[in-house]
């Protein structure tokens, strides 16, 4: 028998600025002194041990790189940013101001900030966890300037010819002879005493090639030039290798040498796939095991960024996430899941990173999404077990964090702010003054967190999940042959290896209990699961464990089907074993 693949892992995304913050003032547009800020040092051995016990394998420290901010660090040699080109008080972590530095907000001792980050990397590794950080390749802060770049490194734009809109040798795109114009309707959170000056104007990060972006654009950022002339039919100029490619390679290697285990690459599809195919192989000369995850939203580019780009994993946002969200919201059906896996079939599915929350998405518990954290549990189990790829949790998801008010620039939209200093009440209960335990949690929070903890353990311990094949059972059960099998709210499938056979069954309906039958076609029983046609078998519950066992004969499961009762919002996994 061939060795199984045991590469499945669980990412826990930490928004570093918010994770360890214990202040509870939560003033809209509050300063760092008023609202507080988490630090690298808050993620100490106690916190890491608790996260390890929770069952995650990788920590994505979000917002590590130095970015534009309205907090003044000029006394430490960091140039201030203009209020008209910063979102929020703390600023967006995706408006990077220095690729070679870390966010001073996150340091207890600002001059020692890099050492504090390196200590966090070391601590994380000591606890057997991997470190992922953001790589933001498509755009930088408008006032980008690297104070900490190594000696001899030329800064972005330092050698540009800004009299032309495009040159293969430039790092930026320009609007020659035009000043940058601040978006109309923009109201900065701090008083503006001097105008912002940028001449010539640079193109805005979300491909806005004009001097004045709108207030809904990424106006705080400028687009980087990878050798594509967007104003000339997207002509590609990749020979010789563009300056931006070389600089980005050196930045990735710089962080790899600091012990980072992987990069979550922001808006990877806005950067040419040719660059990724080149740079990922370059970085892997330094560390062959380095992990690359692409944030990508174009289904038709998925294959390209895996095969040509060399990415290990892609966000499955427009695929599975969107489908599950529709189901949870009551305006989609489980039929969508089959369409998604069929599109992502084969080895494609192994490259999908599944999730229901991250810093870009609305909180499950918010009124904009599910309204409570329990409604999404079947979708979370399915996201974690549908295929062998990794899945991700956002910090506080396991506690039912609900964004209920405007937190600053983010507004009241069901998301946890990424632009301002804030305290997350539900999460602060678990932080518990640095104890990182459940003493202050409600019974409901304890139960929810235990569900996620059990799910993490289940995924990592069961071979059929982390390394097994997938077989969809919808087609044989939803054709009217199985009793009361409602193909719009029920979903079922097999995960299997030579050593283990699992049956998953879901009821996504919020209030309806369903009694139905589930059957496995004869050819799947014998050819896929490789089980015999005679003898007794039973369905042994493996998730959740308190489900009663179901006994069956082979003839039952392949013809009449096995009777199961599915409560509302439920997910069950059974192992098929000899009686």
State residue 2's pLDDT score. Answer: 38
The pTM assigned to this predicted structure is: 0.96
> Mind listing the pLDDT tens digit for each residue in 357-383?
999 999 999 999 999 999 999 999 999
Q: Which is more confident, 315 or 483?
A: 315
How many Cβ atoms are within 10 Å of 150's Cβ, its own excluded?
A: 9
Backbone dihedral region of 400: left (phi > 0), alpha (psi from -120 to 50 degrees) or beta?
Answer: left
pLDDT bucket at 5, cuts 50 / 70 / 90: low
- What percent of the chain clears pLDDT 70, i.e. is strictly above it? 96
Separation of alpha carbons 62 and 52, rounded Å? 18
- Domain membership flag for residue 481: yes
Token pair, residue 491, equals 């979903």
Report whether pLDDT(133) > 70: yes
Confidence of residue 565 (pLDDT cuts 50, 70, 90): confident
pLDDT band at 3 (very low <50, low <70, confident <90, very high): very low
pLDDT at 409 over 80: yes
Q: How far from 316 is each of 58, 288, 339, 442, CA to CA, in Å?
A: 18, 24, 14, 32
Q: Which SS3 state, helix, strand or coil, does residue 363 take?
A: coil
For residue 522, what is the domain's CATH number? Answer: 2.60.40.1180
Does 73 reside within a domain?
no
Question: What is the residue-averaged pLDDT of the chain?
Answer: 94
Count the Cβ atoms, other than its own, within 10 Å of residue 12.
Answer: 21
Domain count, the chain: 1
96 occurs within a structural domain:
no
- Give a yes or no: residue 20 inside a domain: no
Residue 550 lies in a domain: yes
Determine, yes or no, domain membership for 573.
yes
For residue 408, which of 7, 25, 12 has the smallest C-alpha distance?
A: 25
- 573 close to 503: Cβ distance less than 8 angstroms: yes
What does the pLDDT average to over 181-210?
95
How high is the pLDDT of residue 1?
A: 32
pLDDT greater than 90 at residue 118: yes
Q: State residue 483's pLDDT score.
A: 76
Is 414 or 514 the better-scoring residue by pLDDT? 414
Residue 546 neighbours by CB under 8 Å, 6+ apart: none
Is 172 in a helix, a strand, or coil?
strand
Among candidates 476, 475, 526, 474, which has minimal Cα distance to 501? 526
Q: What is the bridge-based pairing of β-strands 352-355 and 313-315?
A: parallel
Instruction: Indicate whether 348 belongs to any domain.
Output: no
Does residue 4 register a pLDDT over 90?
no
What is the per-residue pLDDT across 216-269, written as a single tens digit (0 to 9) for each?
999 999 999 999 999 999 999 999 999 999 999 999 999 999 999 999 999 999
pLDDT, average across residues 146-154? 97
User: Is cis: bond before 497, omega within 30 of 0?
Assistant: no
Cβ neighbourhood burial of 122 (10 Å; 0-12, 13-18, 19+): exposed
pLDDT value at residue 562: 85
Question: What average pLDDT does the segment 112-131 reach?
Answer: 98
Which of 143-152, 226-235, 282-291, 344-353 comes out lowest in average pLDDT?
Answer: 344-353
| pLDDT top residue among 49 and 567 | 49
* 510 within a domain of the structure (yes/no): yes
pLDDT category, 555, cuts 50, 70, 90?
Answer: low
Mean pLDDT of 458-482: 89
Q: How many CB atoms lie under 10 A from the CB of residue 151?
A: 4
C-beta separation of 28 from 412 below 8 A: no
Coil, helix or strand for 565? strand
Question: For 560, which DSSP code?
Answer: I
pLDDT single digits (tens) 296-351: 999 889 999 999 999 999 999 999 999 999 999 999 999 999 988 888 766 688 99
Domain that holds residue 509: 468-578
- Which is more confident, 345 or 135? 135
């Amino acid at each position: 028998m061939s060795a199984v693949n045991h590469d499945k892992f669980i990412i826990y995304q930490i928004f570093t600025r918010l994770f360890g913050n214990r202040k509870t003032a939560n003033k809209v547009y509050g300063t760092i002194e008023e609202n507080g800020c988490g630090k690298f040092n808050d993620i100490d051995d106690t916190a890491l041990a608790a996260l390890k016990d929770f069952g995650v394998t990788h920590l994505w420290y979000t917002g590590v790189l130095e970015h534009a901010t309205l907090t003044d660090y000029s006394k430490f040699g960091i140039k201030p940013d203009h209020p008209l080109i910063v979102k929020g008080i703390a600023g967006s972590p995706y408006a990077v101001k220095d690729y070679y530095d870390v966010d001073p907000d996150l340091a207890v001792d600002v001059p020692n900030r890099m050492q504090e980050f390196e200590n966090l990397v070391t601590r994380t590794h000591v606890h057997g966890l991997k470190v992922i950080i953001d790589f933001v390749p498509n755009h930088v802060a408008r006032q980008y300037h690297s104070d900490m770049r190594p000696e001899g490194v030329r800064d972005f734009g330092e050698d540009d010819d800004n009299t032309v809109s495009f040159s293969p040798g430039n790092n930026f795109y320009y609007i020659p002879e035009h000043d940058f114009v601040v978006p109309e309707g923009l109201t900065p959170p701090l008083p503006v005493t001097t105008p912002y000056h940028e001449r010539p104007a640079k193109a805005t990060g979300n491909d806005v090639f004009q001097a004045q972006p709108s207030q809904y654009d990424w106006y705080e950022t400028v687009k980087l030039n990878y050798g594509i002339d967007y104003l000339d039919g997207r002509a590609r100029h990749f020979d010789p290798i563009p300056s931006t490619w070389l600089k980005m390679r050196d930045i990735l290697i710089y962080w790899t040498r600091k012990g980072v285990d992987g990069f979550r690459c922001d808006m990877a599809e806005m950067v040419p796939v040719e660059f990724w195919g080149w740079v990922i192989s370059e970085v892997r000369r330094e560390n062959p095991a380095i992990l690359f995850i692409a944030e990508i939203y174009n289904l038709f580019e998925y294959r390209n960024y895996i095969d040509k780009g060399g990415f290990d994993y892609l966000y499955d946002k427009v695929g599975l996430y969107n489908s599950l969200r529709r189901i949870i919201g009551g305006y989609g059906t489980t039929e969508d899941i089959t369409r998604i896996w069929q599109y992502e079939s084969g080895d494609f599915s192994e490259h999908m990173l599944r999730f229901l929350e991250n810093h870009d998405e609305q909180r499950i518990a918010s009124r904009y999404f599910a309204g409570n954290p329990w409604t999404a549990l079947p979708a979370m189990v399915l996201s974690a077990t549908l295929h062998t790829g990794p899945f991700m949790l956002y910090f506080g998801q396991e506690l039912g964090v609900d964004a209920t008010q405007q937190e600053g620039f983010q507004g009241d939209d069901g998301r946890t702010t990424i632009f301002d200093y804030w305290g997350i009440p539900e999460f602060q209960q678990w932080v518990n003054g640095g104890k990182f335990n459940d003493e202050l949690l409600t019974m409901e929070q304890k139960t929810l967190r235990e569900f996620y903890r059990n799910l993490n353990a289940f995924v990592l311990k069961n071979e059929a999940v982390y390394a097994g094949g997938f077989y969809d059972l919808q087609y044989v059960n939803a054709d009217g042959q199985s009793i009361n099998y409602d193909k719009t709210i029920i979903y079922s499938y097999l995960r299997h290896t030579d050593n283990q056979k699992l049956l998953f069954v879901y009821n996504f309906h919020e209030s309806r209990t369903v009694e139905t039958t589930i059957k496995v076609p004869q050819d799947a029983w014998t050819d896929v699961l490789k089980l015999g046609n005679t003898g007794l078998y039973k369905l042994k519950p493996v998730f959740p464990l308190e489900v009663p066992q179901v006994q069956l004969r082979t003839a039952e499961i392949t013809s009449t089907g096995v009777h199961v009762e599915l409560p509302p919002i439920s997910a069950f996994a059974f192992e098929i074993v000899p009686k």
